[in-house]
Amino acid sequence: MIRVENLTKYYGDVCAIKGVDFTVQDGEILGFLGPNGAGKTTTMRIITTYLTPTEGSVYVDDLNIAEHSTELRSKIGYLPELNPLYSEMPVYDLLVFVASARGITGRRFKEALGRVMESCGIREVLHRNVGELSKGYRQRVGLAMAMIHDPEILLMDEPTAGLDPNQIAEIRALIQEVGKEKTVIMSTHILQEVQAVADRMVILNKGQVVADGTTTDLMAGFEGKAQLSLEVKKATKKSIQGLGAKFPEITVREQKIEDGLGRLELEYPTGQDLREQIFGYAVEAGWIVLEMSRRQARLEDVFRSLTVEEGGAHA
């Protein structure tokens, strides 16, 4: 089990993370979410012992990483966002190099190579230069490097960044397979990745944990808001503002007006059904209502509500 307690990290006067707390159970796939700059990479680098926290502690199997860093590095594999590959080396030579740095040679290396070739699907590119590989295969090689010593814990920072849809699907399947045997922390800002593979998620914003739970948990906590999509003609910014002024309980989450066609995303308390009042306002404002539809809240709505400041600016 991994325990992160009151983790804080300053870079000079800049606070990257502050008071971060969460746990990861053995065999769990944790999605580590947040907008760019939220502190995900800093937190992961501290867990890997690459960075030292300003305050707080991380425990792996009740061992403090500050006191047992050498011992715990053998339990942790790390795939950073910028994959550290040597493009001029054949994949086989690169894995020999990485394994030897960890003291894995001879028969132990042959066994380790056989294991990562199968689990990461790199057998067919083993003797090709890294620079000749597609981005998807380079990610597979990076994962093989992170897993060559058979760690119990695997951390991946934006593992599908820059991949095409087919490659993303392949890496997703690979993560799910790896997660059957290892504890996985996967950092991303792509919600579909978390929904597809993670058992639970922790959401960071501005260096602090703002949510922790399963998708079901987070959606249940968001049920206090009803979502309404509205498509109208002849709407203006002023008349849309008037809707919020007349009904303060209504929040206009998104609005787009183009060529006289307005698309609005409205939100209001679930205990009230304001569709009739909204339709009445539309008639008064001279709108032509083309569509009005309620929808279930999505994980994207939860994420935005937790990480977008008033006025729509990302933290």
Domain range list for the chain:
2-214, 225-296
Q: What is the pLDDT of residues 165-180, one digit of tens each?
A: 888 888 888 899 898 9
Residue type at 106? G
CA 106 to chain centre: 38
- Supply the pTM of this predicted model: 0.77
Fold classification of 2-214 (topology level): Rossmann fold (3.40.50)
Residue 185 corresponds to which tokens in the numbers above?
Answer: 């922390």
For residue 303, is it left (φ>0), alpha (ψ between -120 and 50) or beta? alpha
Model pLDDT, residue 222: 67
> What's residue 130's pLDDT?
96
The per-residue pLDDT for 77 is: 95
> How confident is the model over 212-271, as pLDDT tens digits?
998 888 877 766 677 889 999 998 889 998 998 999 999 888 888 888 898 998 988 877
Rg of the chain taking only CA atoms, in angstroms: 24
Q: What angle do helix axes 275-284 and 237-246 make, rounded to 10 degrees? A: 140
* For residue 4, pLDDT beyond 70: yes
Give the residue with greater pLDDT, 296 vs 165.
Answer: 165
For residue 310, pLDDT over 60 is answered with no
pLDDT digits (tens, 9 = 90+) for 39-52: 999 999 999 999 99
CA distance 81 to 161: 8
The fold adopted by the segment(s) 225-296 is Alpha-Beta Plaits (3.30.70)
pLDDT of residue 287: 93
296 vs 54, residue with greater confidence = 54
Name the pLDDT band for 309 (thresholds 50, 70, 90).
Answer: low
**Distance, CA of 62 to CA of 80 (rounded, Å):** 25
Query: Can you tell me the distance from the alpha carbon of 40 to that of 161, in angstroms, rounded to the nearest whole number?
Result: 15
The contacts of residue 54 (CB under 8 Å, 6+ apart) are 8, 9, 10
Q: Is 78 exposed, middle or buried (0-12, 13-18, 19+ CB in 10 A)?
A: buried
Q: What is the pLDDT of residue 311?
A: 40
Question: What is the pLDDT of the chain when averaged over all its residues?
Answer: 90
Q: With 60 as the cut, is the pLDDT of residue 80 above it?
A: yes
pLDDT of residue 296: 66
Checking if the pLDDT of 19 tops 70, the result is yes
Among 187-191, 200-204, 263-267, the range with the most confident prediction by mean pLDDT is 200-204
Distance CA 81, CA 255 (A): 34
